[in-house]
Chain A
Amino acid sequence: MNDYFETLMANVKAQNPSEPEFHQAVEEVLGSLSIVLERHPEYRSMKILERMVEPERVITFRVPWMDDQGEIHINRGFRIEMNSAIGPYKGGLRFHPSVTLGILKFLAFEQVFKNALTTLPMGGGKGGSDFDPKGKSDNEIMRFSQSFMTELFRHIGPNTDVPAGDIGVGAREIGFLYGQYKRLKNESTGVLTGKGINWGGSLIRPEATGFGVVYFTQEMLKTRDTDFEGKTVAVSGFGNVAWGAVQKVNELGGTVVTLSGPDGFVYDPDGVKDEKVDYLLKLRASNKDAVEDYSKEFKVEFFPGKRPWGVKVDVALPCATQNEIYENDAKELVKNKCYCVCEGANMPTTIEGYKVFTEAGILYAPGKASNAGGVATSGLEMSQNSMRLPWPREEVDNRLHEIMIRIHNTCLTTAEKFGTPGNYVNGANIAGFLKVADAMLDQGLV
């Protein structure tokens, strides 16, 4: 098996020179799949892996535009359509001077599996340009976006490839891109997600990730025959994800007792409820990256410079940033009898922390699976666009709920099937892969 992987990697490196990020991504994903390949020799003989590492299509194009001073600039545009086995390509556009083929390829590659995990019919792709939006005027951004879309429009479509936003592509840019697409194609469709609510966007997008995490956690708790009712929860962060999580935990009967920021954390034993939840919005919109004001406003204790994992809670939902649960924090949580950790952020737990959790045998879910709520909502936006019917909040919420349940169950059953019951990490990694691989098998040599 090792030889097989080594040859595969060697080929990848040879075929994609100077793209170390892509090599690493491939290595990580495929490295976790040795057990899968053992059970599915057909993947090897049908060269599924070799096919997966080769994008279905890579489009690079010229994007010329004029700045406000009349100077002409030329940037390069990319769209990597990685894999459409289970649905139209789906992935964001990034406008950033660091954008290169290698970076986008690695992002597209990861996107394939992330999207597959959502159980929605979404393939994987990524795109962008080496354009730097920082310091540009609105008109320059508009001109660039229009030039970009003037090429891209012929390659995308609601049933083909549905880009979204990413670094450097926010609501403003999506607006300009969408406007140009409509003008060129003369159709009003869900060709981009992340649109404004007025013209095709979906509700609850900001909270979706947070809701998703809590729904996922609820399913995890069900495996131990319990739920959120009466549970204490530690949440880190105070942004969109945390806000969504807090709302949903409250709804399900739990109590969130911590919030944190780069400045420290606040401990509110009464729980972050009612007007305190609204206050979170204010805190979010303020320019201070700090939670201290919360403690002043509601007269609770503030712990400067510390993370919230030392507090005694039942459930921990890290929603702030990567690398926020170190080995010590993990040990503290375990010591305090926290028995469920579900990631809202991307990779908040360090490797050492992860080891502590696994050794203690507590419930642990990786962000890859549990924070798919955000991506799922993109899919729901596409659904609403196809139906031409915007759903009310409750409907979106319900659908999201269903999706999270499906993701959870998929992860769990897959983990069981492959000999590591309860290991959501393995379950997530493998489940996404299997879905795509099986679809590719079914669809012939394409």
Chain B
Amino acid sequence: MRKSSTLDQIKHFSLENVFSSRIKKFQKLMRYKIREILLVSSIYDNYLFEEDGRLYELIREEYQNLNLSQAPEIIHVTTGMEALELLREKNEFDMIMITLHIEDMHPTVFARQVKEIDNSLPIMLLAYDNRERKELMLNYNTDVFSRIFIWGGDYHLLIGMVKCVEDRLNVETDTESIGVQVIILVEDNVRFYSSYLPIIYTEVFKQAQRLIREGVNTTHRYLRMRARPKILLCTNYEEAWECFEKYKEYVLGIIADNNFKKDGHRDPEAGLKLAAAVKAELKDIPILIQTSDQTIAEKAKEVDASFLLKNSPRLLHDLRKFMMDNFGFGDFILKSPDGKEVARASNLKDLAKELKNISDESLLYHAEGNHFSKWLKARTEFWLAHQLRPRKVSDFASTKELRKELISAINSYVSDRSRGVISDFDKDSFDIFNSFARIGGGSLGGKARGLGFIGSLIANYNINNLFEGVTISVPSAVVIGTEVFDSFISENNLEIFALNATDDLLITKRFIEAPYFPQSIIEKLTGFLDIVKVPLAVRSSSLLEDSQFQPFAGVYNTYMLPNSNEDKKVRLDELIKSIRCVFASTFHKKAKDYMKATSYRLEEEKMAVIVQRLVGNERSGKFYPNFSGVAKSYNFYPVPPQKSDDGIALVALGLGKTVVEGGNTVRFCPRFPKHLLQFFSTKETIKNAQQDFYALDLSGKPLHSGDDVSDSMVKKYDLGSAEKDGTLFQVGSTYSPENDAVYDGISREGMRVVTFAPILKHEVFPLAEILNLLLELGTWGMGSQVEIEFAVNLDVPKDNPKEFAMLQMRPLVISGEIEELAVDDYKEEELICHSDKVLGNGATENIYDIVFVDIKKYDRGKSKEAAREINKLNSKLVEQKNPYILIGVGRWGSLDPWLGIPVTWDQISGAAAIVESGFADFNVTPSQGSHFFQNITSFKIGYFTVNSFIKVGFIDWDWLLKQNPVEELKFTKHIHFDKPLSIKINGHKNKGVITKPGN
């Protein structure tokens, strides 16, 4: 039974969780956008608009400056008739702007007709001067217009108008959705607000833009701008109060005139009254009274409002100051309850720091007020604002608790935020534990993309802390984009040489000695090395690597650096040399050969480089993780109770080089971690267990001399040193020769072997569960079978979680594995053999030879002789380099001569596929487990199990026996064909066929 409920829970949880997929929330903001404006004005008016240049371009430029997305299109017509026609035809407009002078009809008439077509379309009237406007308002009903503005010659007004409409349309949803804030602007003087509105909008945009800074890439910036505070323009007391009441929770502040209509008539103290009323409800809301009357200043202070003189030459400056001080745009000013400043914080990290030191009274003052929220929202950090919303100390056990929680909320948010996002590298905001940043432009390459994807999966689905005491993450890295590679190659004129050279050492040498390396990158790397002082892995991330169809695994080089030299210049030098070497490996023979087998051209290949923190700890001069491994979500050689899609994992002590090189590892299925095939007998245990491990020698010097292209710093060490380091006890077992037994753990006397028993059997670390989850998550996320690489560090400081690091995730695609071969479409006479119990996968063509045991002559008692004959034929065919199909009776490689033919692996090494047929009188189960079987899996040899006597599969013995053999021995025959036969195995269904030649 599949237990995928954890994954379901995660998916379920994250979709429900309002704050986990934060960017999605931002995307939902500002649903209503003004995209198309219909401008109805006379040609002359238009001329006025475009005095400074083409209106549309101006507006678009301004949008870009303010980091706003998509400027609206403006369609201009000169007559009302034209406009109405357009509207009737296709009403795609979001807003209509109309001036007082249009050729054919009065604006109010036009407006009424528009309303008949579409009642919801906002119509803005643009007048040129006040007199005109007043006259209009006196004589006509201007209710039909949403707003009236006075054109002052500044195109910014149009932007203000657009934003004003958008804000009105979106305010309800956006406040509810994530708590976007609202500024209420109360002003009835049309001329004033026409010039003021754009100013205040620009200010808000600029401030917002400035604050959306840390750890965020360009896409996010655009999205976060949508969460800037909204401005609601009100022209009388009732309107203002209505807005206030409705959006009370979200009101950032009120900027109000003093003299406007209240209860239908003008009230010269309306502003003050409004201020008083608002303060009575929420005393913390900042209010700015703007008036031309200086005497109001005192009164404003009385109601605890700020004051601004409208005709002050420093209007903008004062407005800005007010916003900085009160809207959270500036530094967070930590105050004591009496209002005195005690500290300042300009970013989240600083705030967390200061919170540690301030007095309890100050803490409570800010916590109980709305201060944190506001400041955070200005930075569009809504989630954190929600965490730090006004709290009472009574909600907590003590002020100390409250302080602790506030600080930890900020800190974990800061570290959370940088996860899952590939931002541009910035020394100040890079988290050495797990950030992922880029240096240089261009693509990130396949591997880096995979890592970024994993990071985002982990962040978005909160996988990081799913297991208690363990943190799952991608180790921090910077990726050097492919443009750096491009410029390196072109500036050093290496392209022709590299494409044509065949000597790997020469290529590496030339790359190391090439004079040019982009200075800007060197600077960034210097900054990186300033903050990262731990061992590093420098890895390739090519454009074509890990693409959906080409695994490219192990084709390019990886280097590991101790990064420990006291001299920073040396460290920088080593790093850059390694990067050059990775560049060089793009053109090495291995890569060129590999490329030939694909449909890509080497010229297309570009190399990005990942510089990643190496996972592990320093132990007596060497650096290595407790263990590393690889896990695949699909296993072509499952042994019951495993099924193919339970996956398979390989783990080894130390660096993952052991696994990658095919050394001895522990092989287990994450769903059945206690079923270890390799360790069923002590002999097999010893044979299969890892006896040494790889670690980075911290004292070594990276050669890069061109003598060797491989990584010379990674060395082999024996288990004794692991035992001394204390890393063996979590993975080791002990073999006692006296007792001929293997005991879990290393507490008894004897030889040490690595079996991972403490982890897999005694659950010292939830490895199997973590792998199960990640493989499921990976296949779900990538939409295909996946392979992941990981490393684990168990030796962490006390109270810190153990570290499970994801190093790579790629789709599991090897040519042949992705296709499901059609093996059902053959007729029996076309086949030599077919079976439903086949292990392996893929198709092999071009086989011309068969070696088989003559079932008629075979005598179970003579199996040893038969084995000798097979050996002979095998040697012959191996020398001729002819792969063959081996068909026999009974179990191949059986230790028991009665059960089958006791060959050893080397005696049948030339076989491309092996067929095991049952005896007439004896049912033989397939020989799984043991080195023999492991070789089959490693060499991807197809293994057919047939017993035609009990109708399990089929072998055409008659046909085989009729063929004329090339060589005939006592029990065995070798037949050769001129036409090839083929082997086809469908690993998903465990079905396979071997076709007769010519089919």
Contact = CB atoms under 8 A, between A and B. Distances in A.
A binds B: yes
A67 B753 contact: no
B898 A97 contact: no
Interface in A16-42: 18, 20-21, 24
A203 B738 contact: yes
A190 B676 CA distance: 31
B680 A136 contact: yes
A139 B674 contact: yes
Interface in A312-349: 322-323
B441 interface: no
A96 to B, nearest CB: 8
A18 B674 contact: no
A163 interface: no
Interface string B55-90: 000000000000000000000000000000000000
Contacts of A103: 896, 898
Given A170-B682, A287-B689, A135 B675 contact: yes
Interface stretch (B45-53, B214-222, B922-930): B922-930
Nearest to A133: B680
A298 B904 CA distance: 29
A132 B640 CA distance: 11
Measured as residues with beta carbon below 8 angstroms from the partner, the interface class of chain A is 35 or more
Interface string A165-199: 00110111001000000000000000000101100
B695 to A, nearest CB: 19
B680 A98 contact: no
Contact of A281 (B691, B737, B930): B737
Interface in A58-76: 67-69, 71
A201 B680 contact: no
Interface in B560-587: none
Interface in B874-896: 891, 894-896
Interface residues of B, number: 46
Interface in B851-888: 860-861, 864, 868
B301 to A, nearest CB: 78
B739 interface: yes
Interface in B726-752: 735-742, 751
Interface of B (DSSP majority class): loop
B936 to A, nearest CB: 14
B941 to A, nearest CB: 19
A227 interface: no
A69 B677 CA distance: 17
A387 interface: no
A20 B861 contact: yes
A85 B741 CA distance: 33
B641 interface: yes
Contact of B681 (A138, A168, A286): A168
A197 B674 contact: no
A171 B685 CA distance: 13
Interface in B655-711: 664, 672, 674-677, 680-682, 686-689, 691
A97 B924 CA distance: 8
Contact of A205 (B672, B738, B742, B895): B738
Contact of A137 (B672, B689, B896): B672
Interface in B907-949: 921, 924-925, 928-930
Contacts of A167: 895-896
B278 interface: no
A440 to B, nearest CB: 28
A243 B741 CA distance: 18
Interface in A250-300: 262, 281-282, 284-287, 289
Contacts of B680: 133-136, 168
B753 A137 contact: no
Contact of B639 (A135, A140, A201, A262): A135
Most chain A beta carbons < 10 A, residue from B691, B894, B924: B691
A121 interface: no
A97 B894 CA distance: 12
A206 interface: yes
A21 B303 CA distance: 109
B675 A137 contact: yes
Contacts of B738: 197, 201, 203, 205-206
Nearest to A67: B641
12 contacts: A21-B861, A68-B675, A103-B896, A132-B925, A134-B930, A137-B674, A137-B675, A170-B741, A203-B738, A205-B738, A287-B688, A322-B864
Interface of A: 18, 20-21, 24, 67-69, 71, 96-98, 103, 132-140, 167-168, 170-172, 175, 194, 196-197, 201, 203, 205-206, 240, 262, 281-282, 284-287, 289, 322-323
Given A137-B675, A201-B738, 18 more contacts: A67-B641, A68-B672, A69-B641, A71-B641, A103-B898, A134-B680, A135-B680, A136-B680, A137-B672, A137-B674, A140-B675, A167-B895, A167-B896, A168-B681, A170-B741, A171-B741, A262-B904, A286-B691
